[in-house]
Each structure stands twice: as C-alpha cells, then as structure tokens.
C-alpha cells in the first residue's frame, strides 16, 4: 500500500487516491472507505485525507453525498488537476531552496576560500555549456548551487540541500520541459551576479540575487 513521506501531504494524498482509482480499486459510482480507514493506509491524518478529497471533488473525480459518504464520479485524472499537482510540488521545492540557498549564499560570501571560488567558477562554466539537454542542464545547475552551499561551510545546510536534491531534480526537469526554454544568456547572467557577489564578499547582494532568482522561478510556474 502506498504511504506518504514528504510534504505537501494533501497533494500527495490526492495523487495516491487517483492512482488507486485508475488502477481499478474503486469502480465508477463506488463508495470510498472512510477517513479512519484511508488515513492509516496513507500514513497521514484525517484532515489531510479530507483536503485530498476536497481537491478531487473539485476536479469532478469524487463527490461527497451528505450522510452517505464519498463516491467515485470519474475514473480518469483530469489533465488540469495533474498540472496543478505538479505545479504545487515545484513551488514547494523552490520554497525549500529559498530557505536553504539564500542563507547559504550570504554565508558563502563571508566564508568562501580561493578553492571554493575556483570550484564555483568551474561549476558555472559547466552549467553554461549544458544548453541542449534539460536533464544535463539541471544536473549542472544543481552542481553549481551545491558548490555555493558547500562554500558556506555549514554541514547542516549541505545535508539539507543533498537531502531533497532528488526531488528538486525531478521538479526542475518537469518545470523546464513545460517551459521549453532553459540556459538563456539572461539566466547565465543571474548566476554570474551571484558568484561575483560571493567573490566580492558582499553577503547582502549574494543573498538578494539568490532570493530574486528563486522567486522569479517560483513566479514562472504560478
């Protein structure tokens, strides 16, 4: 049985319920088990299940009948809902990146060594060269941002960055596939400004450039 491990739980719960409907576990018109049954199956609270059901009801997949329960009203996932769930995941990843990378950029500006600067410049050059494959570009982008986090010389920040890197990779690849554009000169310039601020030990500018970059990313998927 699928269980959930990470945020956002309500969106993930909706995805799992949709997968089970698609898989034929519940037929059209069939009543779903109650919240007290579904919640432990998915490893979440009843309030999370209620929110997931509200999302699916809003899409037309489920219907809540007063005093009777929740029933399946569609067997397929509306394309619009899938897009909403993917967008929510990307936004969540970017919010986590803001929390980690803005502070890391400021600390990197204060603590970077000559070796750190060299590693960041090499990573930036590698990122700049990856403009044909989305997957390769995202991997190179991740390596660059990780080099900045490492230059902060805070092992907890590095562990946090590494911990959600696989989910971040998946979300960023999905975002760029939908945008159909990546690795532009303006995008490269933003990263150059971040590195220049770190090189000049301007912690305020490094943090602000990083925050603006990530907020622009978030706005592009809103």
State yes or no: cis peptide before 15, omega within 30 of 0: no
Every domain range in the chain assigned CATH 1.20.120.530:
79-220
Radius of gyration of the chain (CA): 21
Architecture of domain 9-72: Orthogonal Bundle (1.10)
Residue-level pLDDT at 44: 92
For residue 74, the surrounding DSSP H or E stretch is none
Q: Is the pLDDT of residue 144 over 80?
A: yes
Count of C-beta atoms within a 10 Å radius of residue 92: 19
Prior bond to 203 cis, omega within 30? no
Lowest mean pLDDT: which of 44-53, 130-139, 165-174? 165-174
Class of domain 79-220: mainly alpha
For range 107-121, the mean pLDDT: 98
> Three-state SS for 72?
strand
- The overall average pLDDT reported for the chain is 87
Q: What is the pLDDT of residue 131?
A: 84
Residue labelled with tokens 């941002």? 145
Q: What is the pTM of this model?
A: 0.62
User: CATH 1.10.10.10 occupies which residues in the chain?
Assistant: 9-72
User: Which residues is 65 bridged to in the sheet?
Assistant: 69
Predicted pLDDT of residue 109: 98
| Angle value at C-alpha 6, between 19 and 168, nearest 5 degrees | 95
Mean local confidence (pLDDT), 23-44: 93
| pLDDT for the residue numbered 117 | 98
Determine how β-strand 69-72 pairs with β-strand 62-65. antiparallel
């Amino acid at each position: 049985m699928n269980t959930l491990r990470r945020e956002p739980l309500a969106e993930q719960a909706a995805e799992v319920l949709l997968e089970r409907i698609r898989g034929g576990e519940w037929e059209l018109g069939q009543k779903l088990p109650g919240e007290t049954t579904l919640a432990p199956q998915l490893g979440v609270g009843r309030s999370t299940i209620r929110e997931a059901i509200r999302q699916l009801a809003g899409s037309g997949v489920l219907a809540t009948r007063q005093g009777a329960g929740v029933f399946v009203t569609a067997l397929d996932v509306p394309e619009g809902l899938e897009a909403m769930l993917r967008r929510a995941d990307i936004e969540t990843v970017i919010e986590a990146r803001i929390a980690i990378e803005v502070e890391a950029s400021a600390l990197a500006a204060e603590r970077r060594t000559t070796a750190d600067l060299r590693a960041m410049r090499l990573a930036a050059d590698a990122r700049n060269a990856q403009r044909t494959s989305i997957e390769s570009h995202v991997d190179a982008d991740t390596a660059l941002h990780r080099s900045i986090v490492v230059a902060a010389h805070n092992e907890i920040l590095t562990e946090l960055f590494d911990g959600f890197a696989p989910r971040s990779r998946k979300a960023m690849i999905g975002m760029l596939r939908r945008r159909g554009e990546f690795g532009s000169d303006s995008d490269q310039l933003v990263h150059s400004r971040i590195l220049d601020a770190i090189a000049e030990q301007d912690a305020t500018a490094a943090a602000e450039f990083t925050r603006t970059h990530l907020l622009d990313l978030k706005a592009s998927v809103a």
